[in-house]
Amino acid sequence: MSKFVKQLVTNQLQERLAGINYAFLVSLVGIDANRNHALRTMMADRGIRMSVIKNSLARRATEGTPIAAGFEKIEGACAVCWGAADVVALAKELVKLTKDKSLSGFEIKAAVLDGEALNSVQAVDVSKWPTREEQIAMLLGQIIGVGAKLNSQLVAIGGGLASQIKQLAEKDG
């Protein structure tokens, strides 16, 4: 490949990967064309993008970006996956796909998250974190729980006072 073509491909990759703060590097070795197409369709339905990139071109295209660390030590054929609602949702979907028997050969090789390279074990561990929606639900539960407790305490005091006033009224009446 000539330098001119490499530069064109690098520029196109830079545009495609611009603004990405996290990515997973996966292996597709042993997946035939039909299963590869089915895999890409499943990923697209879930908002996940995947691109097979030559490692040396990926290093050049991601130089100076938050995902550059992921390509420093990677060897062998791999594809880059990004997208989904957040990094945890992406990790959960990819882990599900690795467990699919029809996609034998699909495995997570590494990941990069906010400039930090993760090995395959750490990348799988990301899937065990709560997703953005789960974190918001936990936070709202904590906020609402405090308000509900305060409300019940205020109502209990008022209810107790009303009960005592009622008893005094019946006693005097």
Residue 124: CATH number of its domain: 3.30.70.1730
Q: What is the pLDDT of residue 24?
A: 92
Residues 145, 123 within the same domain: no
pLDDT exceeds 70 at position 37? yes
Q: Out of 129, 145, 163, pick the residue that ends a domain.
A: 129
Residues 39, 15 within the same domain: yes
Domain count for the chain, please give it: 2
Residues 83, 100 within the same domain: yes
Name the band, by pLDDT with cuts 50, 70 and 90, for residue 173. Answer: low
Residue written as token pair 């699919």: 100
- The larger pLDDT score, comparing residue 27 to residue 151, is at 27
Residues 22, 34 within the same domain: yes
pTM of the model: 0.74
Residues 14, 70 within the same domain: yes
Residue 81's domain comprises 3-129
Q: Out of 129, 149, 164, pick the residue that ends a domain.
A: 129
Burial of residue 40, with CB atoms counted within 10 A of its CB: 0-12 exposed, 13-18 middle, 19 or more buried:
middle
β pairing state of 79-83 and 48-52: antiparallel
Residues 18, 51 within the same domain: yes
